[in-house]
Amino acid sequence: MKILRKGFFVIDVLLLLVVVFCISHTLAFVQYWPFLLLDIALLSRFNSVILLYRKEKWSIVPIIVFVILFGVYYCNGIFDNTIFRMAEYPSIVLGIQDYDVIEKNIIGERILNIIFLWAWLTPVVVYLYQAIRKQLVCNNYRWYDITCLAIFKDKVGQLLVELGILTFIAMLIGLTLDVVLSKYALLATPVAAYYIINRYVKRKVHWIEYVLLVIALYMFNQSQFVTDRVYIAFLTTYTVIVLFLCTYILVNSKKAFASLLILLMITALPLLSLGYNIYSYTDGTRGTNYDGGRYNGRYMYTIKRTTEGDLISTKIGLRGRYYQIIPSNYRVIVPTSILSPFAKCITERGDTITYYLETGQILEKDKFK
């Protein structure tokens, strides 16, 4: 029963993180105060998770604050665009898109609506359940702990905050698509998460574990710059080491929660630090950031493919965070103007092809004569 209870709150936190990710990825306001009120609501929600986990009687205070504030946003349709856009997010990440036909992802929208409703109403349901079962107690929290600070003082809350800070740092660095910064974040944040989680379960880590983890992360980083069998070998090595470490922790400490949490963090943090889906394109290596290529808030960079024949030839393409935009078939790719949404691509034969960067569609094709 204790395991089921812990599992419920873990699922609750994960679904709440999905809501936070969706909101941060899509929602925008002209003024600051709507963001401030939404931040207060979400902080109250996270705080209530800790208080409900401790069966605190006064958890009703942050629950009321959250339910009212979040309910105003939800009932007024503020999250409708978020749900609509994020329903298409999996297909965008996987590169499965049809730009000629605009269709709503009905299943995705329903799932996200359920998740948002869960985040909104679950604290009330849990509190009523605990009240009916007469499980609520007073844990001698101060008023400021009840309102917003319990998550920063509770042991479980501190774990969530520390891992949340690491995730936030990784996301910020990943947004820049800077190769050097991403490398350091990729190596540092998973190691820090490994240390934090093991400290939480009071497990002493052998130094060899850190060495293996750094080797795995280095392989992951270097897989950006290789192709074919070497690419597969690097990512396979990374995966094997990560699975070995998580299995070793599970066997050594009998802590399934720690093992799964480490697997989640050292899988997600490297991807967030890179800022793009490394698994979506394997036929070319990472090149430089696209000159003048910040379009619509999205960074892009070149991908290179080298072929060997009578002469060694290197061709370039372009990709964004989630998928290939322009295939690696060109000698030169330049924007048609400053911050242009169009790119002019020149082949080795001198053909000029113009692509629309938002969709990757060819707009025109002219041959030099």
Model-wide pTM > 0.85:
no
pLDDT, tens digit (0-9, with 9 covering 90-100), for 102-127 = 455 788 888 999 999 999 999 999 99
- Domain borders along the chain are 1-153, 159-276, 287-367
Between the CA atoms of 95, 96, 100 and 106, what dihedral angle is there, to the nearest 10 degrees? -130
For the beta sheet containing 342-346, the strands, ordered from the edge strand earlier in sequence to the opposite edge, are 332-335, 342-346, 351-356, 361-367
Per-residue pLDDT of the chain (369 residues; tens, 9 = 90+): 677 888 888 899 989 999 998 998 888 776 788 888 999 999 999 999 999 999 999 999 999 999 999 999 999 989 988 888 888 777 776 666 554 444 557 888 889 999 999 999 999 999 999 999 999 898 888 888 898 888 898 888 899 899 999 999 999 998 888 889 999 999 999 999 999 999 998 889 899 999 999 999 999 999 998 888 888 899 999 999 999 999 999 888 888 888 989 999 999 999 999 988 888 777 778 888 887 655 544 578 888 887 765 456 788 888 888 878 888 888 888 888 877 788 888 888 888 888 888 777 888 665 444
> 67: which residues sit within 8 A by CB, 6+ positions away?
120, 121, 123, 124
Whether residue 305 contacts residue 319, with contact meaning beta carbons closer than 8 Å, is answered with: no
Nearest CA to 137 out of 64, 47, 46, 53 is that of 53
Whether residue 313 contacts residue 220, with contact meaning beta carbons closer than 8 Å, is answered with: no
